[in-house]
């Protein structure tokens, strides 16, 4: 049983572990997920074979009343989890893998007397509250980034690992899938802010393109994955692709094959979620990282600083992002010497975690 929900930073590494378990002979029927029922999770899991119990709950956000109501929902979900598993045809698990957040609390409490072997996976540079609490008694704990415990790396999905091991991608062929012309570009920039999107990134990238100057001269293609929240507004307000003085902006709401674009990008603009940072590090990409403000324990800032310390990127504070600062940051990122991949060689964390899980099962 794998508990992961809320963000791609939890869900995609969790899916990577599931894929690694399958690669070692575990049937997809022997793997099940506990998630929330957000639309983005429906979309992600619609392309997988794994069984899933989707709970209509969320985190403790909003005012005092909202938090109390959220806590009641979480508690009820934990108390009734066993019944939900039976109704879904999912048997009680031998091992529970927790990726943190409220969904892990539900899974651990709901299965408290039904599963003894627990594995905690922390994908951020700062361990969240749920993982800090429930790692007590866990049979194994994995930390993605360097800490007093050995770094395990962030579990990367098979598509990312395949992109890393594949021969050099055909840059022009990939660009042609998102461009309105077959002409090559001197520079290719990819920007994204997660499944919902990041308004700061969306607005600043649009303003930068409309200024007609992203720096460096020559022709530039900017590919912006807008996200679900702002996409309709973008499409209604302007005609895309947008062309301004040699700069072209192409947009998408969501991209399942984003890793292919990242591989051939000259610079990437993004938030600093752990999965994103891990993929960019493994790909050796120059990046402009804009940490999500007020992320739990300010973990995105710490993720971004880790990337900066390894010489790969530039960090911009969300409140200071505008077209001028973004242009300077892009130029600075392009000018940095990208480190060799050896600085982040823990690219097969999913395999390590799967080995630990299988060892626990074999010892039962």
Q: Extract the tokens encoding 160.
A: 């990312």
Residue 111 CA to residue 114 CA, distance in Å, equals: 5
Strand order through the sheet with 140-143: 51-55, 32-36, 2-3, 95-98, 117-122, 140-143
User: Which CATH number describes the domain made up of 2-156+348-362?
Assistant: 3.40.50.2000
Residue 346 has pLDDT above 60, yes or no: no
**302-325 per-position pLDDT tens digit:** 888 888 876 678 999 999 999 899
Give the CATH H-level superfamily of domain 160-344: Glycogen Phosphorylase B; (3.40.50.2000)
Comparing CA positions, the residue from 228, 229, 2 lying closest to residue 101 is 2
> How many angstroms separate the CA atoms of 67 and 61, rounded?
6
Whole-number percent of the chain with pLDDT over 90: 22
Q: State the Cα–Cα distance between residues 9 and 329, nearest whole angstrom.
A: 24
Q: What is the predicted pLDDT for the residue at 15?
A: 93
Nearest one of 36, 46, 97 to 349, comparing CA atoms: 97
Lowest mean pLDDT among 25-34, 40-49, 55-64, 159-168: 55-64
124-153 per-position pLDDT tens digit: 877 877 788 888 888 888 887 765 545 677
Q: 96 with 1: CB under 8 angstroms? A: yes
What gap in Å lies between CA 20 and CA 28, rounded to an integer?
11
Strands (E), 137-264: 140-143, 187-192, 220-225, 242-244, 247-252
> What pLDDT shows up at residue 243?
87
* Choice between 79 and 200, residue whose per-residue pLDDT is larger: 200
What's the chain's length in residues? 364
In the chain, which segments carry CATH 3.40.50.2000?
2-156+348-362, 160-344
pLDDT digits (tens, 9 = 90+) for 151-207: 677 888 877 777 766 666 688 888 888 887 767 888 899 999 876 568 889 999 999
| pLDDT for 236 beyond 80 | yes
Q: Which residue has the higher pLDDT, 65 or 256?
A: 256
Q: For 66-78, what is the mean pLDDT? A: 70
Which one is predicted more confidently, 237 or 217?
A: 237
Contacts of 319 (CB under 8 A, 6+ apart): 293
Tokens of 112: 């408290």
Q: Could you give the C-alpha distances from 332 to 221, 288, 302, in angstroms and in order?
A: 18, 9, 20
């Amino acid at each position: 049983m794998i508990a992961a929900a809320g963000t791609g930073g939890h869900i995609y590494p969790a899916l990577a572990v599931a894929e690694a378990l399958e690669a070692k002979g575990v049937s997809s029927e022997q793997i099940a997920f506990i998630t929330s029922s957000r639309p983005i999770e429906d979309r992600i899991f619609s392309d997988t074979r794994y069984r899933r119990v989707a709970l209509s709950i969320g985190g403790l956000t909003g005012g005092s009343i909202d938090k109390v109501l959220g806590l009641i929902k979480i508690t009820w979900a934990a108390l009734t989890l066993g019944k939900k598993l039976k109704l879904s045809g999912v048997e009680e698990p031998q091992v529970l893998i927790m990726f943190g957040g409220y969904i892990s609390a539900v899974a651990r409490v709901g299965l408290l007397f039904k599963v003894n072997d627990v594995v905690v996976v922390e994908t951020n540079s700062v361990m969240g509250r749920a993982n800090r609490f429930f790692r007590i008694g866990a049979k194994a704990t994995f930390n993605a980034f360097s800490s007093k415990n050995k770094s395990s790396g962030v579990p990367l999905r098979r598509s990312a690992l395949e992109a890393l091991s594949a021969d050099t991608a055909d840059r022009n062929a990939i660009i042609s899938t998102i461009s309105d012309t077959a002409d090559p570009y001197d520079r290719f920039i990819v920007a994204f802010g997660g499944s919902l999107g990041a308004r700061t990134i969306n607005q600043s990238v649009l303003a930068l393109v409309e200024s007609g100057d992203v720096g460096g001269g020559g022709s530039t293609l900017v590919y912006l994955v807008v996200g679900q929240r702002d996409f309709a507004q973008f499409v209604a307000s302007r005609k895309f692709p947008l062309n301004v003085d040699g700069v072209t902006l192409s947009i998408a709401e969501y991209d399942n094959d984003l890793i292919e674009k990242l591989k051939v990008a000259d610079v990437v603009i993004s938030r600093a979620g752990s999965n994103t940072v891990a993929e960019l590090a493994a790909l050796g990409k120059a990046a402009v990282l804009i940490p999500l403000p007020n992320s739990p324990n300010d973990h995105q800032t710490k993720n971004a600083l880790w990337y900066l310390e390894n010489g790969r990127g530039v960090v911009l504070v969300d409140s200071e992002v505008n077209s001028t600062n973004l242009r300077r940051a892009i130029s600075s990122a392009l000018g940095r010497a990208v480190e060799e991949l050896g600085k982040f060689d823990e690219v097969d964390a999913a395999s390590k975690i799967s080995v630990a899980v299988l060892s626990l099962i074999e010892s039962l």
